[in-house]
Structure 1
Amino acid sequence: MNKSKIIATGKYSPELAVSNFDLEKVIDTNDEWIYSRTGIKERRISQNESTLDLTYKASLDAIKKNNIDLSTIDLIIVATTTPDYFIPSTASLLQSRLGLNDSHVTCFDISAACTGLIYGIQIADKFIASGSVRKALVVGAEIFSKVLDWEDRGTCVLFGDGAGAVILEQSDKGILADYTNSSGDDNLSLTLPAVSLGSPFSLKELDCHSNNYLKMNGSEIFKFAAYAIKDSIDHILVKSNLTIEDIKYIVPHQANQRIIAKVSKDMKIPLEKFYMNLEYYGNTSAASIGMALDDLYGEDNLIEGDKILLIGFGGGLTWGSILFEY
């Protein structure tokens, strides 16, 4: 059976950086309150860009940095919960934007919230294993700023906009193990109604008294996230017959620094093993793992054979992990 390997990463974040101090001007909060509870200092907000725009720019970043031949991409998967359209899919629009309409490319979107990129990579890996796909482009992209209640400091301080992309191809080594899971959220602890609000962020008074914004039970999600990370690590170590010492970096969904710190303490895993960049981007949902992985690759301190564990967890409830060799 064929294996697949991540051969390219890319990301895109909008130009507008909104700091915690900026948020002080529109809601009852402050930098110390936000940073101490989340580890976030700023987030990027899309002003005039669509989810497709972010997806396209992250894909181009991965393609150009790694000299990828576009004609070899046979599969495009976009993970998003904030698409521009329900029909057509963002993946199909991306195919057209990349100039691949005359190519035989399978395109579709998936919705698994913050676990989206993990699900997407797992699906792409199976396509490649079947021999039907040479290269797969998987992108996580979100514009959460258009679905946030900017008067709710429990949610609006957490999220940002962005996109992260990975490209996989056939290889004799690469992905070593994967694990995904889901548990129907009967309590609806994280919800986003199927309504496109399309309201851009602006540092002015906003009408945020709608039932169509994202809502989250923070304490319940915190407990779930800590469990999901531990469960993902445990399953991957058993499936791969490895120990945590064999793993160079864990790249978790960038949700909250306190969640990662709790898992680090409970599982006695050094905090420095967890790669985090949420201080600068906030929680970008399906984009966060891809964006963090691209930053990790950019630091150029990885060597061939290093093992990296990606972990996602989010609404659904969904969670899962991918272990691969650099």
Structure 2
Amino acid sequence: MNKVHAVITGTGSYIPLLKKANKDFTAQDFYDDQGQQIQQSGEIIVQKFEQITGIRERRYASHDMDASGMASMAALRAIESAGIDAETIDQIIVAHNFGDIGIESTSSSAVPAIASRVKHQLGIRNAGCIPYDLLFGCPGWLQGVIQANAFIQSGMAKKCLVIGTETLSRVIDVYDRDSMIFSDGAGAVVVEAKEYRDVAEVYGFLGASVQSFTAGELNYINMASSNFSNNNQCTQYIKMRGRKVYEFAVKYVPAAIKQCLTNCNIDITEVKKIFIHQANEKMDAAIINELYKLYDLEADLADIMPMNIHCLGNSSVATIPTLFDMVCKGELPGHHIHKGDLLVFASVGAGMNINAVCYKA
């Protein structure tokens, strides 16, 4: 009897056109989480920020664009890339954290679901196409891929559209240095069921590892009022305990990736690329270096770890699918994917949640 495996057959992304360079923040007053103004020049603050994060500029959505609109644009490109009829899609899974947010307010609109809005905007009339949202922090898009694989393996779906979309620029506290990390964007993939007869023919989704830490780690990333006391204290903004997040990620993500590789009987030396959530260049490099240390090896970061955080910033659920789309389409110099390459996807974020996926191209 033939079996099925889940394969990414199309990719797409929407990168907002509005660029926000680091120099644009030099005139901003920044405050710490105790409400005290940081007594350094804007130039020094921005310089230190770039040294740590690797971010030189980021993209913000235009005033007439929201998360569902970006998701639909990325989805259209993924559908075109896969060469499928949108009416044949069984599941639309949209990962986000804040829904659609207007330019004048941080108030979130998530009813109806963002996935339902995407289905509407794509013009899909098939009642059997089920749209739903997924809130899982920054690892949300990858968790959507894991769920798509589960639907395909169960026989409940043959084609899934998995999207990550976010407009973080609309939930940032401009008085907080961490606000410079965040950006907007959307990425999407089509995941399809493909039949195989022999294990040697298997490609696509190979296995996953997922973990959640909600004890003392729960509020490492959360929502809170502005660092500046004169700002509206009733409004909630995304907040991050940077040092805690860094230490947590470097400690636990390498182990989760190794567990995924072990589950799939893959040695680290077989892996060609690691697509890691674009959170912070220094943190991502530390994660991959620690991973290779678990095998008593040294990582060649320039070869193994494609990055686009330098120009796109951290768009949460959208970072991995936009990065993957760029590499698939040859838009990131020095990085290419060839048939048969073993890939790893990994993410960490609010929850605190971690996931990793092994994939054969």
Q: TM-score, structure 1 length as denominator?
A: 0.91
Whether 1:131 aligns to 2:155 is yes
**Aligned equivalent of 2:214:** 184
CA RMSD of aligned residues (A): 1.9
Greater displacement, 10-19 / 67-76:
67-76
Contact map agreement 2:93 2:133 (CA 8 A) in 1: yes
**Aligned equivalent of 1:39:** 54
% identical equivalent positions: 30
Q: Deviations over 1:32-66 (max 9, x none)?
A: 22210100011101132111111011111212233
Correspondence 1:55-204 to 2 at 5 A: 55-84=71-100, 85-153=109-177, 155-171=178-194, 172=196, 173-187=203-217, 188-192=219-223
Compared with structure 1, are the counterparts of its residues 265 and 179 closer, same or farther at alpha carbon in structure 2 (3 Å cutoff)? closer
- Which residue type is aligned with residue 137 of structure 2? A
Return the offset for 1:93.
Answer: 0.9
**Aligned equivalent of 1:235:** 259
Contact map agreement 1:13 1:44 (CA 8 A) in 2: yes
Return the offset for 1:211.
Answer: 5.0
Q: Secondary structure at the match of 2:163?
A: strand
Q: Deviations over 1:210-254 (max 9, x none)?
A: 551111110000011112320222111211111111111000000
- Which residue type is aligned with residue 210 of structure 2? T
Return the alpha-carbon distance in structure 1 between the equivalents of residues 316 and 234 of structure 2: 22
User: Aligned pairs, how many?
Assistant: 315
Q: TM-score, structure 2 length as denominator?
A: 0.83
Return the offset for 1:75.
Answer: 0.4
Return the offset for 1:207.
Answer: 4.3
Q: Where has structure 1 moved over 6 Å in runs of 4 or more? A: none
Correspondence 1:298-309 to 2 at 5 A: 298-299=329-330, 301-309=336-344
Q: Which has the larger radius of gyration?
A: 2
Return the offset for 1:208.
Answer: 6.0
**Aligned equivalent of 1:198:** none
Return the alpha-carbon distance in structure 2 between the equivalents of residues 217 and 263 of structure 1: 18
Q: Deviations over 1:123-144 (max 9, x none)?
A: 0101011112111000000101
Q: Deviations over 1:61-88 (max 9, x none)?
A: 2122332221221100000002022321
- Which residue type is aligned with residue 176 of structure 1? L
Correspondence 1:237-316 to 2 at 5 A: 237-266=261-290, 267=293, 268-272=298-302, 273-299=304-330, 301-316=336-351
Return the alpha-carbon distance in structure 1 between the equivalents of residues 84 and 19 of structure 2: 30
Compared with structure 1, are the counterparts of its residues 140 and 228 closer, same or farther at alpha carbon in structure 2 (3 Å cutoff)? farther
Compared with structure 1, are the counterparts of its residues 21 and 93 closer, same or farther at alpha carbon in structure 2 (3 Å cutoff)? same
Q: Deviations over 1:177-218 (max 9, x none)?
A: 11111111535111036x9xxxxxxxxxx9465551111110
- Which residue type is aligned with residue 270 of structure 1? D
